[in-house]
């Protein structure tokens, strides 16, 4: 929550379709750091503003769902940014409002605070500006006698105005009542035939001081195409990597490490090159994530070693001092303290006890084509190479499974199990079983 005395509301404009993205998704739902762009902006805005309102387009139920619990207003007709902002006027309140854009997802809380501070120090309107390397088709901020007088859109600008390097980022902050008055006066007499929010700048300048707060292009550049989305991702990844290293994480090759926004890497974690962290990953202190590994929705315990070429899928929890080696895949697995699965193994829907060693080529057969089943492996077991564990099955503590075995029955604690049966073929039985299982599934 903000410490600013008057109530503040962020109005986020997110009605754009993003036709240059060539996607069925609204532009605001394109992903950065493995979550929608608008989620980044909302979470940052909530650090600064008391309330958030999102203006969406018609037929955007997915977007409305993503922004919950924040209120949404539908802009039925896309008639420009002033029109979109005006749609939310009844939710402005009586304090200050700031207009933000869903396709500017990387604005920092510090920059937002500078914007609101400029407004609080007497400006009738504060806005964000930048000096991009290539100003391109950005609107230009026109200053007269050292003060902002207006903004001119690129299509309406003269050749002299297009030489201005200070560009409009679109974000602005002013009093709610002033905004209502200005928006009512905006017309669509321009090259696009739209109601430009930028027109309020000239109105504000006649009433008082308009202050421009400059911020880096990396924060303010718009995301309107796949190419710009990739550039924004690069900016975000650089931030995430820098924050991780500042917190005591070693990234051996930072530029090849991909982090999600919610990735948690504790101090003294070491990450080798070419590692991908999907959503929902926590890696505890002292763990080593070796090269070319892929982690998603999982927890890695202290002192564990994962990879190289390992894949940890959602629901997996590796306790402290575990080893998951090359070409091993774990899905929804609890791997006990000190347990190892070092080579060429698939464990799905399984619990593996402490100090158990799972040999190369072991597979838990957790899926019968219709239903998932769980494998329970106790502590201090040795699972021989190329063992097939057909779930549901339980193996007690201190057991030994002979290499090459197919285990279909429970194994008691301290037992030795062989499962190397002769091949038996029963004609027609396979189809019969499949039909029976399908009927059970259809019957619920």
Predicted confidence (pLDDT) per residue in 153-179, tens digit:
888 899 999 999 999 999 999 999 999
Q: Which domain holds residue 118?
A: 8-226
Same domain, 129 and 215: yes
- pLDDT per position as a tens digit, 182-192: 999 999 988 78
Domain boundary among 226, 261, 289: 226
Burial code (b: 16+ CB inside 10 Å, e: under 16) for 318-348 equals bbbbbbbbbebbbbbbbbbbbbbbbebbbbb
User: In this structure, is residue 424 part of a structural domain?
Assistant: yes
| pLDDT single digits (tens) 40-63 | 999 999 999 999 999 999 989 999
Over residues 28-42, the pLDDT tens digits come to: 999 999 999 999 999
Cross-strand bridge partners of residue 212: 127
Which residues are annotated binding-site positions for Mg(2+)? 103, 224
In a domain, 232, yes or no: no
Q: Which residues contact 429 (CB under 8 A, 6 or more apart)?
A: none
In a domain, 237, yes or no: no
Percentage of the residues of the chain whose pLDDT score is greater than 70: 99
Of 290, 288, 310, nearest to 300 by C-alpha is 288
| Residue where one domain finishes, among candidates 269, 288, 323 | 323
Site of tokens 């080798």 = 272
Burial class (CB in 10 A: 0-12, 13-18, 19+), 206: exposed
Class of residue 228 by CB neighbours under 10 A (exposed 0-12, middle 13-18, buried 19+): middle
pLDDT digits (tens, 9 = 90+) for 376-389: 999 999 999 999 99
52 in a structural domain = yes
Considering the domain architecture, whether residues 16 and 158 belong to the same structural domain is answered as: yes
Binding-site entries for UDP-N-acetyl-alpha-D-glucosamine: 13-16, 27, 75, 80-81, 139, 153, 168, 224, 313, 331, 346, 357
Residue 186 lies in a domain: yes
pTM of the model: 0.88
The answer to whether residues 80 and 183 belong to one domain is yes
**Helical H segments across 49-170, by residue range:** 61-67, 81-87, 109-120, 159-162
Q: Based on the domain organization, do 314 and 165 belong to the same domain?
A: no
Same domain, 351 and 335: yes
The rounded distance, in Å, linking the Cα atoms of 275 and 104 is 27
Higher pLDDT, 234 or 146: 234
- The encoded tokens of residue 435 equal 């039909």
Q: Which of 7, 40, 294, 343 is catalytic?
A: 343
Instruction: Say whether both 339 and 437 belong to one domain.
Output: yes
Average pLDDT over residues 354-380: 97
Residues flagged as binding site: 13-16, 27, 75, 80-81, 103, 139, 153, 168, 224, 313, 331, 346, 357, 360, 366-367, 385, 403, 420
Q: What is the pLDDT of residue 33?
A: 96
- pLDDT of 423 reads 81
| Whether 356 and 427 share a structural domain | yes
pLDDT for the residue 410 = 97
Binding-site residues from annotation for acetyl-CoA? 360, 366-367, 385, 403, 420
Phi-psi category of 338—alpha, beta or left, where left has phi over 0 and alpha has psi -120 to 50? left
Residue with tokens 């008082």: 208
CB atoms within 10 A of CB 91: 16
To the query of whether residue 343 is one of the catalytic residues in this protein, the response is yes
Please state the length of the chain: 444
Angle ∠(148,199,70) on CA atoms, nearest 5: 105
DSSP category for residue 328: -
Report the pLDDT value the prediction gives residue 5, as an integer from 0 to 100.
Answer: 60
Let me know whether 207 and 341 are in one domain: no
For the cut 50, the answer to whether the pLDDT of residue 4 exceeds it is no
- How confident is residue 3, by pLDDT bands cut at 50, 70 and 90? very low
pLDDT confidence of residue 121: 87
* SS3 assignment, position 235: helix
DSSP code per residue over 45-58: HHHH-SEEEEEE-T
* Residue 247 pLDDT > 50: yes
Domain co-membership, 106 together with 48: yes
Q: Kindly report the CATH number assigned to the domain that includes residue 434.
A: 2.160.10.10
Is 170 domain-assigned?
yes
Q: Are residues 160 and 294 in the same domain?
A: no
Quickly state the pLDDT bin for 2 (edges 50, 70, 90).
Answer: very low
Shared domain for 90 and 200, answered yes or no, is: yes
CATH number of the domain that residue 155 is part of:
3.90.550.10
Q: Which one is predicted more confidently, 327 or 138? A: 327
Give the H or E element holding residue 245.
Answer: helix 226-246
Q: Is the pLDDT of residue 89 over 60?
A: yes
Residue 1 has pLDDT above 70, yes or no: no
242 falls within a domain: no
Boundary residue ending a domain (272, 290, 323)? 323
Same domain, 210 and 261: no
Q: Has residue 3 been placed in a domain?
A: no
Instruction: Quote the number of domains for the chain.
Output: 3
Q: What is the 3-state secondary structure (H, E, C) of 182-198?
A: HHHHCCCCCCCCCCCCC
């Amino acid at each position: 929550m903000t410490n600013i005395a008057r109530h503040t509301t962020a109005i986020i404009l997110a009605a754009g379709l993003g036709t240059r993205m060539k996607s069925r998704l609204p532009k605001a739902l394109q992903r950065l750091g493995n979550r929608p762009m608008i989620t980044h902006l909302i979470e940052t805005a909530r650090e600064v503003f008391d309330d958030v309102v999102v203006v969406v387009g018609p037929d955007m139920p997915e977007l409305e769902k993503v922004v919950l619990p924040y209120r949404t207003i539908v802009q039925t007709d896309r008639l420009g940014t002033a029109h979109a902002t005006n749609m939310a006027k009844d939710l402005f309140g009586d304090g200050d409002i700031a207009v933000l854009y869903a396709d500017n997802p990387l604005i920092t809380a510090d920059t937002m605070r500078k914007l609101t501070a400029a407004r609080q120090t007497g400006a009738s309107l504060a806005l964000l500006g930048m000096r991009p390397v290539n100003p391109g088709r950005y609107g230009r901020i026109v200053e007269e006698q050292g003060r902002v007088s207006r903004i001119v859109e690129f299509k309406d600008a003269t050749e002299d105005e297009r030489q201005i390097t200070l560009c409009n980022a679109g974000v602005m902050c002013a009093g709610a009542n002033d905004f209502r008055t200005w928006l009512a006066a905006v017309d669509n007499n321009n090259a696009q035939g739209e109601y430009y929010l930028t027109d309020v700048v000239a109105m504000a300048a006649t009433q008082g001081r308009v202050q421009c707060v400059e911020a880096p292009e990396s924060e303010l550049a718009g995301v309107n195409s796949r190419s710009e989305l990739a550039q924004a991702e690069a900016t975000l990844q650089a931030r995430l990597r820098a924050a991780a290293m500042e917190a005591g994480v070693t990234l051996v090759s930072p530029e090849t490490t991909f982090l999600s926004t919610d990735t948690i890497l504790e101090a003294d974690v070491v990450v080798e090159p070419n590692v991908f962290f999907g959503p929902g990953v926590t890696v505890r202190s002292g763990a080593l994530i070796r090269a070319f590994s892929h982690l998603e929705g999982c927890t890695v315990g202290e002192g564990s070693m994962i990879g190289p070429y390992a894949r940890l899928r959602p629901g997996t929890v590796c306790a402290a001092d575990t080893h998951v080696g090359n070409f091993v895949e774990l899905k929804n697995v609890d791997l006990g303290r000190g347990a190892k699965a070092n080579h060429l193994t698939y464990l799905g829907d399984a619990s593996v006890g402490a100090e158990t060693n799972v040999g190369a080529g072991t597979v838990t057969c957790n899926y019968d084509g219709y239903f998932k089943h769980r494998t329970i492996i106790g502590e201090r077991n040795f699972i021989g190479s190329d063992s097939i564990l057909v779930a549901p099955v339980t193996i007690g503590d201190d057991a030994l499974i002979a290499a090459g075995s197919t285990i279909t029955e429970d194994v008691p604690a301290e037992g030795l199990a062989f499962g190397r049966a002769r091949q038996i073929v029963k004609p027609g039985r396979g189809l019969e079983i499949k039909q029976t299982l399908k009927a059970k599934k259809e019957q619920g």
